[in-house]
Amino acid sequence: MKRVFLKTLAAALAVCAIGTTGTAIAQERTIKVGLQNPAGHPAVIGAERFAEIVAAKSGGKLKVQLFPGGSLGSDVQTVSALQGGTVEMTVLNSGILAAQVKEFAVYDFPFLFSTPQEADAVVDGPFGKSLHAKLTDRGLIGLAYWELGFRNLTNSRRAIHKVEDIGGLKLRVIPNPINIDWVKALDANPTPLAFPELYAALEQRAVDGQENPLSVILANKFAEVQKHLALTNHQYNPQSVIVSKRFWDQLSAGDRQILQDAANEAGKYQRQVSREQAAAQLDQLKKAGMQVTELPPAELAKLRERMKPVIDKYAATVGEASVKELMAEIAKVRK
């Protein structure tokens, strides 16, 4: 009698777990997503759209919970949490992943891309996908690339009209070697610092300045503690949408596809928002009191020239084959 009851119970549970079409129903899960930027930033807007798409495609079984403003820690801490399986997802500057896979350092090369469209073609193509695939061995799954954008320089000491004006400034940089070296190449003083610590460092004058896309400068209210903005566009940053492999391995094939499709779909929207907002962001920063300068063509050429030894150095470090592959992809787009 007991055996019959147990068999009946098992059969009932099996029926509950299987839909009428014979496919497994998605298990309810909450997906924590760590983000460095605050609400209103294009990365967060993209993540909000991602959450909506996931909820719709999963019938509400997969719930995405956003933690913006670095509330789960720095990018490095969040990546570690993904590897440990305590956080499920993050969206971060792709170059930061060089700490996991050295080839990601190419995304920090100065003056690599001339337009966002060039960047899209490269990161969405074979090169970008091959780099994301290398993350698997590091306990991470790369789903898609979004956009952080072109970086510009701010400081609290002086207007930047020529390359020499950058010399002597103490500048916060993303904590990786290539960013430290390109700042040194401009005779400035690099200070590696986690992003959540940056506003306080600027406010206390522990550093003179920093460099980030306009969206980051605006969303994080750096105009409150920085007077001068130089439109250098010296670096373009894609953002990687990554998932904890420990979490990924627990998902059904159907749930994985939901997350992949949502990341791609939300990414198109996120890039559109990022680019549409750029002109308005500059106006808002001017209204907030920032004095904006642009380097004349001769000074930009000088800036590029100063960066060349840094690019040559890290081309060797990253791997000549990877750099050659990347440059070939860019050349295809420019034809």
Domain-embedded: residue 131: yes
Domain-embedded: residue 63: yes
pLDDT in tens, 131-140: 999 999 999 9
Q: Which pairs count as long-range contacts for 303-306, CB under 8 Å and 24+ apart, including other chains?
A: 303/163, 303/186, 303/232, 303/234, 304/110, 304/111, 306/163, 306/185, 306/186
What is the per-residue burial (b if ≥16 Cβ within 10 Å, else e) of 292-308? ebebeeebbeebeebbe
Domain-embedded: residue 171: yes
Angle at Cα 207 formed by Cα 205 and Cα 208, nearest 5°? Answer: 85
Q: What's the pLDDT at 238?
A: 96
**Residue span of the structural domain in which 180 resides:** 27-334
Domain-embedded: residue 16: no
- Name the domain count of the chain: 1
Q: What's the pLDDT at 18?
A: 37
Of 75-79, 84-88, 151-155, 276-280, where does mean pLDDT reach its minimum?
276-280
Domain-embedded: residue 2: no
Do the Cβ atoms of 32 and 47 come closer than 8 Å? no
The whole-angstrom separation of Cα 148 and Cα 143 is: 16
pLDDT band at 102 (very low <50, low <70, confident <90, very high): very high
pLDDT band at 191 (very low <50, low <70, confident <90, very high): very high
pLDDT band at 279 (very low <50, low <70, confident <90, very high): confident
- Residue 27 pLDDT exceeds 90: no
* Percentage with pLDDT > 90 across the chain: 84
What are the tokens at 232?
A: 């250098």
Q: Smallest Cα–Cα separation from 63: which of 71, 72, 55, 73?
A: 55
Q: Smallest Cα–Cα separation from 226: which of 207, 244, 204, 209?
A: 209
* Percentage with pLDDT > 70 across the chain: 92
Do the Cβ atoms of 285 and 218 come closer than 8 Å? yes
Segment 41-59 shows an average pLDDT of 97
- Residue 210 pLDDT exceeds 90: yes
pLDDT band at 26 (very low <50, low <70, confident <90, very high): low
The domain that contains 283 carries what CATH number?
3.40.190.170
What are the tokens at 288?
A: 């907030």
pLDDT in tens, 150-187: 999 999 999 999 999 999 999 999 888 889 999 999 99
Domain-embedded: residue 11: no
pLDDT in tens, 245-277: 999 999 999 999 999 999 999 999 999 999 998
The whole-angstrom separation of Cα 127 and Cα 322 is: 8
The whole-angstrom separation of Cα 225 and Cα 311 is: 31
Q: What's the pLDDT at 119?
A: 95
Domain-embedded: residue 17: no
Domain-embedded: residue 222: yes
Q: Say which residue, 4 or 67, is predicted with more confidence.
A: 67
pTM over 0.75: yes
